[in-house]
Amino acid sequence: MRFSFHKEPITPEWPMHMAGYRSRIIPFTGVYDELYAMALMLDDGKKKVLIISIDVCMIDKSFALKIKKLIKEKYGLDGNSVLIHAIHTHAGPVTFAWNADRVSDYDDIIRYRKLLEERIMICVDKCMASSKEGSMEISTGETYIGMSRRQKKPDGIVIGPNPEEEIDRLAYGITIKNAHGDVEIILFSCPCHPVVLYPRNTKISADYPGAARSELEKKIPGASAMFLQSSCADINPAILVADDEYRDTFYSDVLFTGRILANDIYNILQKGMKKIDLFIETYAGKIVLPLDGKPLREFRPEDEEIVQGEIQVSMVKLSDDFRIIGIDGEICNQIGVHIRELFSKGYTMVLGYVNGYVGYIPTAKILEEGGYEARSTRFIQKYARNVEEVLLENLKELIIKIS
């Protein structure tokens, strides 16, 4: 196999509003750490795939399609072979034009999207210009940085700590070594909302994923670390917890959480690694999920970007033992588990926030219980109760097509 990697800073160069919490009504006031766009190119000798990770909260479908079009025009790489992923930090800039509350917001967002496009394409250009021989290994373990945020109250579900709820803690650690056996790339993933910096924060940060990357690069000098967000929709950092509420947090909490995750990933990399014989296959499809027919709100101009109920699914098969499933929504934790269970063997990395954003994708249990994750969607209707069943049945059909 051959590989290449490049990253570029994407920290906003002018004051603008932040994504993740509408309660923040002022532009950011400072920078804790740099934001980056990163691109990893993998080449099995016949086919290439690009995995792009961006330190923003989310991207919309139109932005992802534009980047894919630029890549195809320049390098002939089809859109199925490009994953554009947002790590979902809530301490980054607003990237959705339809999030703009003021004309000045809109201008800032369009300006930032242009910067983001330019920096992503620099990463792609660098990756496509040169590559080197290498090898890939993978293993899994657990991390305890997260906790369920679906707290049960007498009048329903609220966002708050729920230590009693079982969650999926699976973490992936992947290394890519050069021909001399030196680790050059660390790819890692786990499910946890990057919201260590809670709503009162007004400084830019990649949150715990950025801190974990820095720690891993210290532990393995010469390596570059890249984070991919998993099925984290209903999981918040455990460090937020103070009794049965969430507390104000500090940047030291970001560094501490990042250090814990980096230690967990580093331990994974020290034992039980399995070599991946790279053989790339890619597939992208659409699944229309059932809606309940009851309008949540009126149709808005920005709704024209998406088909109501439709989600985008990307599958990148890197070997018979390892595949990546990317979905353009916030995947609730157990959805990720159930997707993995569709595969009888090997490693299945399930990612949210890939190639667009349609809101939350809940389990049947969450829809029945209610709460924020059950109702937060870009669709103008809520999901029907059988949404999880329909999603998994359609995924089974897609898996059969590419098996």
Reduced DSSP (H G I as helix, E B as strand, rest coil) percent helix, strand, coil of the chain, to 5: 30, 35, 35
Contact partners, residue 122, CB within 8 Å, separation at least 6: 6, 8
Per-residue pLDDT of 7-40, as tens digits, reads: 999 999 999 999 999 888 899 999 999 999 999 9
Helix (H, G, I), strand (E, B) or coil at 263: helix
Contact partners, residue 1, CB within 8 Å, separation at least 6: 42, 43, 44, 45, 133, 134, 135, 136, 278
Per-residue pLDDT of 187-219, as tens digits, reads: 999 999 999 999 999 999 999 999 999 999 999
Instruction: Look up residue 145 and give its DSSP letter.
Output: S
Q: What is the mean pLDDT of the chain?
A: 95
Per-residue pLDDT of 38-79, as tens digits, reads: 999 999 999 999 999 999 999 999 999 999 999 999 999 999
pLDDT for res 100: 55
Q: Where are the domains of the chain?
A: 2-129, 133-275, 279-402
